[in-house]
């Protein structure tokens, strides 16, 4: 894989941007591509996942082009969201065009913005993490960088993790639990961190305080300069993107549990506690998020070095198709439950 292979991800903000700027049927370009064309293609295309040698992994790790891809995607998502707000504010998008644009921008913000924010939240460099926070701004989901890194990764596959779906748990119930508890836990993580340092949690040092202020300023600016309709459209697209992310969380660990010993300690996170997908289009468009087991085994590995784990559970299709499948709980359970292996199945 080379950096240019992942530039296909720019199709998503490009399609969303075309819809926002051109209006009309162009607003349906990304929704049709993401939710009809991609799921069908991934049902018929062959599977493909990397098997890098240690030498190849080190080579791609050192290639700066992969980081440039991420930076460009952040800027693209921010540009699409800004153009969307301006267009709605000036009355260029109304009726069904507005609905199509909300779905397009939400798909872009969730599928690209949150995904890139997720990748950058694991970086050691503070400025890269800050860039990731900007990528999360169009969905007002900046708390995700705290909860995911310091909460989800340590608690995955346990009852304490709101982002690990239980067996037979319907998606709407998971949405409510993960949205609410994930947000509250991010506050708790920051509050506990500052109290350990004997500092008040109500200071600018609290990331959640900074997140809240920044997001409130964005909401206020949209209201003042673009109007209430633009604000409503922005909030609707942000919610759409956030629910996309939570739906992905839903099936990435669905029904998988870590064993707890008599002392209450959980076994170490292993490949069998995640669902992987070898579907090429999802891998390229979503920066190999689909190789999720390796990400949990090695959280600091950059996306270009991730590889398939043989012990991971395998999803029946790529991520767009899985999102659609999750929206129909009886069908989702019928497809997914037989794929659960007894040793990691939820009790």
pLDDT along the chain (347 residues), means of 10: 93 98 97 97 86 88 96 98 98 96 98 97 95 98 97 95 96 97 97 96 96 98 97 98 98 94 86 93 95 94 92 94 98 96 59
pLDDT value of residue 346: 46
Q: Check: CB of residue 332 under 8 Å from CB of residue 177.
A: no
CA neighbours within 13 Å on the CB side: how many for 33?
21
Residues ≥6 apart with Cβ < 8 Å to 14: 76
Q: Check: CB of residue 97 under 8 Å from CB of residue 84.
A: no
CA neighbours within 13 Å on the CB side: how many for 273?
22
Q: How far apart are CA 67 and CA 50, in angstroms?
A: 19
Q: Dig out the tokens for 69 from the structure.
A: 């891809």
CA neighbours within 13 Å on the CB side: how many for 166?
12
| Sign of the dihedral through C-alpha 202, 205, 208, 214 | positive
By DSSP bridging, strand 275-276 and strand 313-314 are parallel
pLDDT value of residue 151: 96
Residue 96's nearest CA partner among 38, 36, 26, 37 is: 26
Q: Dig out the tokens for 105 from the structure.
A: 């921008």
Q: How far apart are CA 289 and CA 236, in angstroms?
A: 25
pLDDT value of residue 344: 58
Q: Check: CB of residue 272 under 8 Å from CB of residue 343.
A: yes
| pTM of the predicted protein model | 0.95
pLDDT value of residue 49: 74
Q: Dig out the tokens for 224 from the structure.
A: 């003042």
Q: Check: CB of residue 194 under 8 Å from CB of residue 201.
A: yes
């Amino acid at each position: 894989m080379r950096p240019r292979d992942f530039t296909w991800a720019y199709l998503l903000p490009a399609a969303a941007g075309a819809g926002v700027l051109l209006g009309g049927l162009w607003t349906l370009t990304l929704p049709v591509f993401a939710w009809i064309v991609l799921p069908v293609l991934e049902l018929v295309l062959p599977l493909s996942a990397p098997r890098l040698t240690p030498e190849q992994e080190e080579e791609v790790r050192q290639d700066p082009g992969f980081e440039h891809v991420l930076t460009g995607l952040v800027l693209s998502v921010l540009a699409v969201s800004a153009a969307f707000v301006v267009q709605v504010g000036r009355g260029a998008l109304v009726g069904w065009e507005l609905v199509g644009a909300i779905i397009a921008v939400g798909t872009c913000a969730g599928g690209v913005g949150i995904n890139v924010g997720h990748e950058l939240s694991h970086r050691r460099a503070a400025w890269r993490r800050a860039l990731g926070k900007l990528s999360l701004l169009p969905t007002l989901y900046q708390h995700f960088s705290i909860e995911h890194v310091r909460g989800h990764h340590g608690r995955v596959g346990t009852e304490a993790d709101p982002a690990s779906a239980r067996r037979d748990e319907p998606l709407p119930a998971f949405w409510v639990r993960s949205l609410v508890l994930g947000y509250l836990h991010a506050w708790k993580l920051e509050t506990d961190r500052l109290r350990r340092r004997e500092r008040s949690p109500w200071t600018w040092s609290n990331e959640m305080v900074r997140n809240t202020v920044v997001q409130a300023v964005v909401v206020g600016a949209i209201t003042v300069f673009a109007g209430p309709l633009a604000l409503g459209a922005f909030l609707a697209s942000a919610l759409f993107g956030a629910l996309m992310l939570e739906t992905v969380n839903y099936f990435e660990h669905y029904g998988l549990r870590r064993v707890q010993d008599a002392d209450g300690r959980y076994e170490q996170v292993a490949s069998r506690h995640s669902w992987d997908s070898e579907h090429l289009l999802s891998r390229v468009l979503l920066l190999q998020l689909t190789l999720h087991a390796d990400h949990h085994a090695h959280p600091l590995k950059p996306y270009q070095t991730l590889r398939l784990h043989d012990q991971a559970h395998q999803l029946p299709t790529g991520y767009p198709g899985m999102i659609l499948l999750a929206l129909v709980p009886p069908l989702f359970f019928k497809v997914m439950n037989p794929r659960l292996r007894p040793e990691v199945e939820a009790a």
